[in-house]
Amino acid sequence: MVMRVHRTAWLALVLALLASLLTTTAASAEVHHPRQKWLREATAGLFLHWGMFTAPRQTDCAAWERAVNDGGWSADYWVDEARKLGASYIVLATFHSRLGYARPWPSAIPGSCSTRRDLLGELVKAGNAKGVRTILYMTDDPQWHKETGVESLDSAAYSAYKGKQVDLTTRPGFGEYSYDLFHEVMDRYADLAGFWIDNDNEYWEKNKLYEQIREKRPSWLLSNNNEDTPIMDTVSNEQKTGITPPYDYPQAAFTPMPRLTEADYKLPTNGGWWYDGTDQAVDFRLSTGRYITNAGSSMKSLMAETPMVNGKFPPQQEAYNNFMASWVPPIKSSLQGKEGGGYMYGGMQPGFWNDGAHGVITVEPGAGTQYLHVVTRPRTDLLRLRDNGYKVTRVSDVRTGKQLRFSQSGGHLTIVDIKDWDTYDTVFKVETTGQRYFHDSRTIKATASSARAGHPASNLVDGNFENYWDADGKQPVSVTLDLGRRRAAAYLAVNQREMSPTHARESFGRPEDSARIQDYRLYVSDDGRNWGEPVRTGAMPSARGVQFIDFGERQTRFIKLEVLNTWSGPQAKPFYRQLAIDEIKVAYGYPSSGSGAQVPLEAEAFRNDHDGRAHLGHCSSCSGSFQVTGLGGGPRNSVTYPDVMVAEAGSHRLQIDTTGGPATSVAVSVNGGAPVETAIGAGTPGVVASTAIPVALNAGANTVKVFSNARSGPGLDRIAIAPLPPSSYTPKTTLTVEPGGIQWLSPGQQSLRVTAKLRLDADDAIGKVSLAPVVPAGWTLRGAPATAESMRVGDELQASWTLVSPEGVTAADIPVTASFDLLGRAKSVSKPVRVSPRPVDRVFMREAEDSANDVGDAGVTNCGVCSGGQKVRNIGGDPGSSVRFDGITVPETRRYTLYLDFTVNGPRSYFVTVNGGTPIEVKVDGAGNNTQLTTSLPVDLKAGANTIELGNDHASAPDLDRLSLG
């Protein structure tokens, strides 16, 4: 979108900035300020990339302005289209590095295109008249000044204006030029709402530009792209993709509330960030889903559209705007002025719900009403989610006003018999009387085995989400809660700090992962010294929002949560071993609806047959607050459901909810058929766990019999029936394979050590798991597959093998494949080990992205022209952003030729350090990142292993594809 150059030092300091952001007086003043009020109440903004290079591209400023005027450009049109989208502001990006650095206002400062007509002034005036503010985009980036072959920046004119020589094509010169433009805009447009700033410029920082903006225009907002800069009001997250579900943009965000954040994304599915002459489609499902999930995470949807030269939007974008003009108003009350639920403002648990459902919560802080947004509907007409202790009094459909039946028990709200599903977002208004059955945090004392200075464990129970406990990079680490005396306790509600993505991905060449709790153990004690065995062990999902640890009804004084590890690995350095928690609340019971709607397929339902020793028992954590026990000993002790209804015959997903205890099993017979037995792992007494199996059902009524052949069967809470997930569905996993990058092998027979680790990231249990390489003909595999009977969320499976090549190595992708069973379906995920014969004129060759290298604070990104399809970017800018190649082995001590394959846009330098010696500067130049280039230099190496490091402590270095020795 913005084609920016990133300063690697900033992302390396993300965590430090986040830590200081809410604890220093100066930074805190920027988190809460009256000037932000209108944006906090907003839902969305409209981002417009429009300039001299909008199709048909112009290289003459006057010709572009004539095209704008002759086309009938109108500020009112833009404002009206923004209002259709529910947007409260427009960000205008014409002074853009890829759009000719055009300025849509008459400027007294020469240097780039400037219009005679005051288009910016007209937009500000038209927008303010209709309640739509205007924010001006400003870039720091001069590198694209001659992208078209015609110079966009006029250094001579600006130099004459300044009375000194200034080169606008350099960062310092461009920084000085744009600094003057900031002041010109501030002096001329008092009604502007602020600046949207794409990266920082050293000249601005040195001359205190932001401080001057604050002094001159204290009511204006400042937004910064992809960086959390304390003086800025807003952090904008640019175009995050690859998420599951794809519309849940907040999974890729890293900035915690109450920081103002934007989700910045394109509405046209393909094409450039500006109009390229084509009418690209808009994905309604993706775009509306982003709009809603952002609102449910207190993020503002900054939607990018691509106006043509005349200002009009292409027809498919206009059609989407018209759709939104009718789709948003009926649910506006659930969005406007609301905050994301399940976080610091209260609310139920957002995210993945029952039977494939996914959605978010919006709340009005301080009020009892919240809104459930079901973006992906469940595969049944029933919605079930954690209630976070809220006592529900009424549920209604926001669009229809229809009141809905519901039940509440065991920590869950269940809404039944839902018939009116909206295609994109079904919204339920849930009225409550607030949270119940939580101990007053002020009566609880928290201590921890480790804490970072300024972030003590006492912050966990102070009721203030802006104060948090930080584990100071320690793992394992424990938190102990002292209830003051022996009291009832049933579960913990944990709000972890939203300071990292939950979706493992690469963003702008930097690996990201979740700094959230993975494996944990929970203990209780009466004296705080004798803890015994853990009462609950498990893995917490890598998910945003409040998470729960149920441990059954107990009387205790002390509760200890021991965190063994987090979801982030060493590849994501800013988040590795980091853990911070805003609040932990202790609950001693669950709200119940009493005589609420009957939830289908409860074990205790009077319609069921309870045979033999099967009998009802109280269970506070169960749906309906009851369970059926006594199922052990075979089919004579059973629960039979006589009328299990489905619309269509075929395979269905049968979920069995049982209460914990020793490992056991359960058997299910459908319509008198042969029982299917499945294992139930050991669990915590009084805590409900789910197991799912595939079953064949007839259309209409079916009979389902549940029993246990074990001596002592589990307690049965309920069963649930849903269609199987789509055949294309594969649960989310992370498969790590080393070595990574192409392995350039020398002639002759070679052996290669391969290690792989599979992690299950989803709640779906998988079975019959096998992990192993699949070698091509002629190769030999040494080592057996790694296997597991079953895996649950957070479980890992790891193994190593030796691969032996034939005498003549040929290029090959050798897949390391994990195969497993999901609900009777065979599934697999795979990642290749890539091998290729080394060129005869090289004695060593290794990819920059190879897992054997240390890329520091730089990172790996895709590259179509690069060897292996990847490269390392974000090299340079600070000492930590370098690439170190260890184990460069050569046969003898002498001078070699070091070849560097790279991409670069403009003049830059590597500094090459060999075996810790004096850095050697290597200057290169190039015309863009779509061309692979090579440079070389002589280096002296010793026989055996050597180390070569490439970086630049003070400026950005080229992107690196590969290193080799001649």
Please answer whether residues 28 and 22 qualify as being in contact, where contact means their C-beta atoms are separated by less than 8 angstroms.
yes
**pLDDT tier, 627 (very low <50, low <70, confident <90, very high otherwise):** very high
**pLDDT tier, 10 (very low <50, low <70, confident <90, very high otherwise):** very low
Please answer whether residues 358 and 250 qualify as being in contact, where contact means their C-beta atoms are separated by less than 8 angstroms.
no
Q: Could you tell me which of 407, 411, 412 has the C-alpha nearest to residue 393?
A: 407
Query: What are the tens digits of pLDDT across the range 911-945?
Result: 999 999 999 999 998 877 788 999 999 999 999 99
CA distance 531 to 527: 8
CA distance 806 to 804: 7
Terminal alpha carbon distance of the chain: 39
Please answer whether residues 718 and 695 qualify as being in contact, where contact means their C-beta atoms are separated by less than 8 angstroms.
no
- In a 13 Å sphere around the CA of 724, the CA atoms on its Cβ side amount to 18
Q: What is the pLDDT of residue 19?
A: 39
**pLDDT tier, 597 (very low <50, low <70, confident <90, very high otherwise):** confident
CA distance 266 to 53: 18
CA distance 168 to 159: 9
Tokens standing for residue 405: 């039946």
Higher pLDDT, 22 or 146: 146
CA distance 18 to 256: 8
Query: What are the tens digits of pLDDT across the range 200-219?
Result: 888 999 999 999 999 999 99
**Tokens 């192993």 sit on residue:** 772
pLDDT score of 1 more than 70 = no
Q: What is the pLDDT of residue 747?
A: 86
pLDDT score of 5 more than 70 = no
Mean pLDDT of 381-409: 97
Q: Which domains does the chain have, with CATH numbers?
A: 36-327 (3.20.20.80), 339-435 (2.60.40.1180), 441-587 (2.60.120.260), 610-723 (2.60.120.260), 733-837 (2.60.40.10), 844-965 (2.60.120.260)
Please answer whether residues 361 and 354 qualify as being in contact, where contact means their C-beta atoms are separated by less than 8 angstroms.
no
**927: how many CB neighbours lie within 10 A of its CB?**
12
CA distance 365 to 346: 7
Query: What are the tens digits of pLDDT across the range 700-711?
Result: 999 999 999 999
Q: What is the pLDDT of residue 44?
A: 98
3-state helix/strand/coil string of 304-341:
EECCCCCCCCCHHHHHHHHHHHHHCHHHHHHCCCCEEC
- ∠ CA 18-362-250, rounded to 5°: 45
Query: What are the tens digits of pLDDT across the range 530-589?
Result: 999 999 999 999 999 999 999 999 999 999 999 999 999 888 888 999 999 999 999 999
Q: What is the pLDDT of residue 508?
A: 62
pLDDT score of 523 more than 60 = yes
CA distance 250 to 341: 13
> What residue ranges in 546-672 does DSSP mark as E strands?
547-563, 580-587, 609-611, 615-618, 626-629, 638-646, 650-659, 664-670
Tokens standing for residue 432: 């409550």
Q: Could you tell me which of 763, 777, 758, 776 has the C-alpha nearest to residue 830?
A: 758
DSSP character at residue 161 = H
DSSP reduced 3-state for 285:
helix
- ∠ CA 306-308-309, rounded to 5°: 135
Tokens standing for residue 663: 């490992």
> What percentage of the chain reaches a pLDDT higher than 90?
85
For residue 473, give Cα distances in angstroms to 99, 462, 476, 856.
Answer: 44, 22, 9, 18
Query: What are the tens digits of pLDDT across the range 847-867?
Result: 999 989 998 888 888 898 999
Residues 6+ apart with CB under 8 A from 136: 91, 92, 95, 120, 185, 189, 192, 194, 195, 196
Q: Could you tell me which of 765, 718, 640 has the C-alpha nearest to residue 410?
A: 718
Mean pLDDT of 120-143: 96
For residue 517, give Cα distances in angstroms to 462, 478, 538, 564, 584.
Answer: 21, 11, 10, 8, 13
Q: What is the pLDDT of residue 509?
A: 64
Cis before 739 (ω within 30) = yes
For residue 872, give Cα distances in angstroms to 196, 442, 466, 718.
Answer: 28, 49, 36, 52
CA distance 523 to 535: 6
Mean pLDDT of 883-909: 93
Q: Could you tell me which of 520, 522, 530 has the C-alpha nearest to residue 560?
A: 522
Please answer whether residues 513 and 597 qualify as being in contact, where contact means their C-beta atoms are separated by less than 8 angstroms.
no
Q: What is the pLDDT of residue 29?
A: 54
Compute the chain's Rg from CA coordinates. Answer: 30
Tokens standing for residue 282: 């808009």
- ∠ CA 621-622-628, rounded to 5°: 130
CA distance 623 to 413: 9
Average pLDDT, rounded, for the chain: 93
Tokens standing for residue 146: 């001659």
pLDDT score of 86 more than 60 = yes
CA distance 665 to 691: 10
pLDDT score of 23 more than 80 = no
CA distance 248 to 842: 47
Backbone angles phi, psi at 318, to 5 degrees: -60, -40
Query: What are the tens digits of pLDDT across the range 285-305?
Result: 999 999 999 999 999 999 999
The C-alpha torsion from 436 through 439 and 441 to 443, rounded to 10°, is 150
pLDDT score of 467 more than 50 = yes
Name the pairing type of β-strands 510-512 and 927-941.
unpaired
pLDDT score of 226 more than 90 = no
The C-alpha torsion from 145 through 151 and 156 to 162, rounded to 10°, is -30
**938: how many CB neighbours lie within 10 A of its CB?**
10
Query: What are the tens digits of pLDDT across the range 796-848?
Result: 999 999 999 998 888 999 999 999 999 999 999 999 999 999 999 999 999 99
CA distance 448 to 620: 30
